[in-house]
Amino acid sequence: MGLNSNTRVDHFDCHETTIKIQNHMPLQIHSVRLPPHQTTLQKLKHRISEIFFPDDPLFRFKNQSWLRKLLLGIQFLFPIFQWAPKYNLRFLRSDIVSGLTIASLAIPQGISYAKLANLPPIIGLYSSFVPPLIYSLLGSSRHVGVGPVSIASLVMGSMLSESVSFVHFPTLYLKLALTSTFFAGVFQASLGILRLGFIIDFLSKPTLVGFMAGAAIIVSLQQLKGMLGIVNFTNKMQIVPVLTSVFKQRSEWSWQTVTLGVGFLAFLLITRHISLKKPKLFWVSAAAPLTSVILSTLLVYCLRNKAHEIAIIGHLPEGVNPPSSNMLYFNGQYLALTIKTGIVTGILSLTEGIAVGRTFATLFNYQVDGNKEMMAIGIMNIVGCCTSCYVTTGSFSRSAVNVNAGAKTTVSNIIMASAVLVTLLFLMPLFRYTPNVVLAAIIISAVIGLIDFQAAYKLWKVDKIDFLACLCSFFGVVFISVPLGLGIAVGISIFKILLHVTRPNTLVLGNIPGTQIYHNLNQYKEASRIPSFLILAVESPIYFANSTYLQERILRWVREEEERVKANKESTLTCLILDITAVTAIDTSGLDALCELRRILEKRSIQLVLVNPVGTVMEKLHQSKVLESFDEKGLYLTVAEAVAAISIP
């Protein structure tokens, strides 16, 4: 039964009628009903809940006693209390092994990544002590290994060094780094508290693939300073000035440094290859950085009287993290720089941290709360900037090693932090003769894994616009700057979204013989057209941004169909069926476009029929009285019903 324009939509006759169509299959015609009535306040509340609270965090507190609510509240704020009652000795043994394993990776990585951010090496170790402790209390992932990461370190170093020289103004540079960490933490925590995590979704996978590959190239080129023993090196990050600086300073190249660097880089890459080929030997790659540091330190110490040209770390202060809240920089000419750096590094570190957490949560069948992760990472950076730490997050490399080592809970982060504490208190003098070239080799071996050729090739095969975003991100980072390259890629991703919204897809449908199913004619070659009917499907909400385009595109389909019918001498086109199943929303511009389309088609003696509007679309069609302009055969539940009903004389 179609809809009668003289009858109220919410009082349809609900009787069903059985008829037959050409293939002699019985078909039931159903009326399309309105969704249950809701007030404007109820609709607004539901919409806000769907956008900001898809997981309904308050559901668990319903119908609970006050004591139970208190316990659930503590568990909600501190996820450690959810699994702590079930913790046992077997878990502890696994966490101790994994904690000590990632500590062996965290110590050389912390020193290396701090140098990547142009910060004192000790800051990297400080950042591997306090933040993991904070995360173990607040984080919802059981397997994330926390610490400095290469991408955030690179971005912070490049953005700050463009305005302040870390060589000539080391104290000011450190203040700006700590302040940037503060703003990164505030931004991250705010996203979690306000449940605005969808903002980081604009960093699409293609963008990140290109960005990480470009960053890996830039990071590796920057390490040529350490690998070649160059003293006077450019502060710029782009590929052209870096290579220019490398070849201009050939007189500073040191063969001892080159030999040592190439040897340990080969060792690190070989161990990495072994671990990739045989995952059970993950510990080979995990232990390689610390082994390299120990061996190179012993070698340089033994040859200290003969290897003067090999640069070393030098003295590192002993003791735990000193307070640094008095070093935060909240006024002056560099405040805008710290805010910008904090937001960019905050977004990147947040993206990596949440991606790591979700990846391993999926592997081990538990759920990670994205908003809780944002708050945990944000709070640990806020606390970190007050305890001499710079931006930290969940690390891909540490987390992978953590999982392979058998970690069960975030206690592994506590064990790692304890090992770093012992290092800070008692072992710092041992790193005095550690050569800078080995730190450069560790960084290069770590970032090489960020270049994902297979992912780029897949993007090219599947989606050319995604591949374009990937390329723009890569070349933007390599040839222009890290933040601008990232911005270009994000802009292309947003352009892709706008393209899909403003130019939605429309399909011509045909009937699959022997069924009541209608599908895309181009996709299913066996699908056939129905004489006198043009059946179109719209695959997008209808908004002001695309309503005019859709109207013009549909009319073009009609003209093309009329020309085809005339050329093949088929039955005259008398009906256009518009399947709007995929139209999840419609605004007033879309409603006006439908009315205008109906009037244009009516002048051409073509009937417009709508099929299967969803709840909100049906409600707006009713409220706007658009349905009143349709006759009794103007709205159906399925395409098959519409064809069958209209085909009846």
Cβ partners under 8 Å of residue 238, min gap 6: 218, 478, 479, 480, 481
pTM of the model: 0.72
| Residue keyed to tokens 């463009």 | 162
The predicted pLDDT at position 285 comes to: 83
| Residue keyed to tokens 């709205």 | 635
pLDDT at 53 over 70: no
Q: What is the mean pLDDT of the chain?
A: 83
pLDDT grade, residue 632 (50/70/90)? low
The predicted pLDDT at position 61 comes to: 56
Q: Per-residue pLDDT averaged across 182-188, rounded? A: 96
CA distance 26 to 36: 30
- Which candidate, 259, 264, 256, 300, places its Cα nearest to that of 431? 300
pLDDT greater at residue 4 or residue 524: 524
Neighbours of 573 (CB within 10 A): 21
Query: Read out DSSP for 552-572?
Result: HHHHHHHHHHHHHHHHHT-PP
- Which candidate, 146, 75, 141, 149, places its Cα nearest to that of 117? 149
CA distance 369 to 561: 51
pLDDT grade, residue 476 (50/70/90)? confident
CA distance 493 to 379: 30
pLDDT tens figures, 290-347: 888 899 999 888 887 776 678 888 888 888 999 999 999 898 899 999 999 999 999 8
| φ, ψ of residue 7 in degrees (nearest 5) | -115, 140
Beta-sheet strands, E only, within 89-198:
145-147
CATH topology of domain 9-33+503-647: Transcription Regulator spoIIAA (3.30.750)
Extract the tokens encoding 98: 């994994």
Extract the tokens encoding 1: 């039964």
The predicted pLDDT at position 115 comes to: 87
pLDDT at 396 over 90: no
CA distance 444 to 223: 7
pLDDT at 387 over 80: yes
Q: Per-residue pLDDT averaged across 607-611, rounded? A: 92
pLDDT tens figures, 416-463: 999 999 999 998 888 888 888 888 888 788 778 778 889 899 999 988
The predicted pLDDT at position 327 comes to: 93
The residue type of 145 is G
Cβ partners under 8 Å of residue 502, min gap 6: 545, 546, 549
pLDDT grade, residue 32 (50/70/90)? low
DSSP state of 530: P
Inter-residue contact 173 to 160 (CB < 8 Å) = yes
pLDDT tens figures, 531-571: 999 999 998 899 899 999 999 999 999 999 999 999 998 98
Domain with CATH 3.30.750.24 in the chain: 9-33+503-647
The residue type of 172 is L
The predicted pLDDT at position 31 comes to: 53
The predicted pLDDT at position 466 comes to: 86
pLDDT at 486 over 80: no
The predicted pLDDT at position 356 comes to: 83
